[in-house]
Structure 1
Amino acid sequence: MYAKFTDSPSPDSETVTQGSVELENRNPDPPTQASTTAKEQAKPPICGSVFRITTTAFLICLVVLLAFTIANLYLVLNARSVSYLENSLSRISKTSKAKLIGRCPVFYQGSCYFVHWRDNTVFNEGAKICKSNGGLPANIYSKLHFISIKALLKRTHVGQGNSVWTGMTFNATSGRAFYANRTEVHFDFVWYRHGYPIDNPSKDQLSLRHHFDTKYDGFINSGPEKLFGGVLCEIGDRD
């Protein structure tokens, strides 16, 4: 008879095996440096992203605040400059202002005189034009003043039959001329050619007629509704 043998592990080998298994379970191998680095890289960089976002927002707010401050400073300085200019202009005389803006081609006895040419102008329109420029329809105060105004008319509008309104009036009944403030004119009055003054009480407004040949320049009297070529304006501190 043959004896039958079974390949069963010996108790000692099983114990060793089990012991090895238990030992492996109790003491796993430590992770390598490569695996640790990979895990750290796999984590999302939350803290870094938050820091960058916060820094960017802070810089944007700082730029906006700086721009707002500069804009306010500019507005304050500009307002002060305008106010200073207005205060300075308010302290100077009307004639000085007229000289600054080119409204004083003729200066006589403290007043500036200029002509505003505009076709088909009645007296009231002429008065509004002078007022919009800081003046009034002009008076002519002397023979010398009359000569300087004639030269101005010739320089600014060469032609024949051009008339400009003045602020003076004429009383056909008494034959006397008056300034705008109703005081009487006393200098040697020069009328335009023959036929003037017109003996008609309604023709009481005086204008200065400019002729191509200046020896004919002089005053004419007409109604305020007459259409003329412009107005002679006066800017003075006594206005």
Structure 2
Amino acid sequence: MAYECPIVRFHPNAGIENMAIGSQQQDEPVQDPIYENSLPRVIQMEGNIETGTVAVAESKEIKSSGKRSNIGKTVGFLILMSLLFVCLICITIFLVQATTKLEDSNEEIMILQNITSEQKKEMNSSKQLLDRIQSQAMNNIQRLSQRYETIAKNLADLDDKRVNCQKNLIGLIKNSGEQVAKNISFMQQTIECNKVNTGLVGRINKMEEMIRKMNRTVSDPHRQLKLQGLCPVQYLGHCFWSVVHSSKDINVDEAKRICGVNNGLPANVYNEQHLNDLMADIRRKISADTFIWTGMQVDISTNAVLMRDGTRASYVKWWTGGFPNAGESGLYIHVQTDPSSSRQGMGNDPPTSKFHGVICEK
């Protein structure tokens, strides 16, 4: 009778040659120390059923050992695959980091290139700016040079003016009177004082101003008269002065001669204020009531009061009633020392009559 198990076939009459391992028909032989050690024991128990039972038990143990060996290999394989997977992850991480660093490096390179490009642009801009500054500086230097030449020319012109002023001063000294000589002396002293100043233009301006003042003094006869005390009253651009004697010794012809000494004429009276100003000037020179000739006259045919040129007078104030006297053409002013007195003003008398003085006009 034969017995079969999943691993060993055994027959009581069979020897070692008739025993085979069933798994060899389907699987590779199991190389296991437990299996190898158990095989002789199975062979030594031939012809005994009990020995066959032991062989079946041994066969089961061999199968369990093979399973454990396969599980160990599977675990090792899984561990190896896990390690490989971990290595692949590490390599992937490394590659990602390397790629990131490479991208960062590329960005830095691009930034550096951009910076270099901007620096080149800034250098070009700086160079252009420097060129513009140099150009402007050259233009400014040229303008300053032209201005310097203009100033030098102006100074030369001012020097010529100064020379001409000196010549004019010399001419004025020769052709002017005593007052002009005094003014020139004062001006020369001023010029000597101004020599210590450094401003040539300022000195020339002062000289020209002095020359203008002297010219006004020379050309303005009223100013000369005023400087001589002959223009105490001014009206309508004319000068008026009075000549008063203590005695009555001046007729109309003598009055004209006295005024002509200073190139004047017996005066007109233009209005009330003018008359009051003339009497106030006369009042400072008298100590009693006084009669003063004017340049006005009375038309004996019409008794109209006329100005020196023959036009009708616009203002007349008689000093008392009864005037004008018939047939008397000379017009005088009666002045009291008391300005509030009503018995003062105009009157008429023959031109041959003699009075204290005359009012002159220029």
On whether the aligned pair clears a TM of 0.5, the verdict is yes
Query: C-alpha displacement at 1:97, in angstroms?
Result: 1.6
Q: Give the whole-Å Cα distance in 2 for the aligned partners of 1:92 and 1:80.
A: 15
Q: Counterpart in 2 of 1:212?
A: 337
Alignment map for 1:29-44 (pairs within 5 Å): none
Partner of 1:174: 302
Residue 104 (structure 1) shift = 0.7
TM-score, normalising length from structure 2?
A: 0.40
Aligned length: 156
CA distance in 1, matches of 2:303, 2:236: 27
Q: What is residue 145 of structure 1 aligned with on the other side? A: 274
Q: TM-score, normalised by structure 1?
A: 0.59
Query: How big is the alpha-carbon RMSD for the aligned residues of Structure 1 and Structure 2?
Result: 2.5
SS state of the match for residue 180, structure 1? coil
Q: 1:121 aligns with which of 242, 250, 254?
A: 250
**TM-fit CA distance, 1:94:** 1.9
Question: Cα deviations across residues 182-211 of structure 1 (Å, max 9, x unaligned)?
Answer: 111012x1101123211x22x101011112
Is 1:89–1:97's contact at 8 Å kept on the other side of the alignment?
no
Unaligned runs of at least 5 residues, structure 1: 1-77
The 1-side partners of 2:241 and 2:310 are apart by 22
2:237 aligns with 110
Please state how far the C-alpha of 1:107 moved relative to its aligned partner. Answer: 0.8
**Between structures 1 and 2, the one with greater strand share:** 1
2:314 aligned to which of 177, 182, 186? 186
Bigger-Rg structure (1/2): 2
Q: Give how far 1:229 is off.
A: 0.2
**Distance in 2, Cα, partners of 1:84 & 1:217:** 45
Higher relative contact order (CA 8 A, sep 6+): 1
Q: State the secondary structure of the residue aligned to 1:174.
A: coil
Unaligned segments of structure 2, at least 5 residues: 1-168, 181-214
| Aligned sequence identity (%) | 26
Instruction: Report runs of 4+ in structure 1 exceeding 6 Å deviation.
Output: none
Q: CA deviation at 1:147?
A: 1.1
1:82 aligned to 142, 157, 173, which one?
Answer: 173
In the alignment, is the contact (CA less than 8 A) between 1:150 and 1:217 conserved in 2? no
Contact persistence 1:127–1:137 (CA under 8 A): yes
Question: Per residue, is there more helix in 1 or in 2?
Answer: 2
Counterpart code for 2:272: K
CA distance in 2, matches of 1:194, 1:154: 23
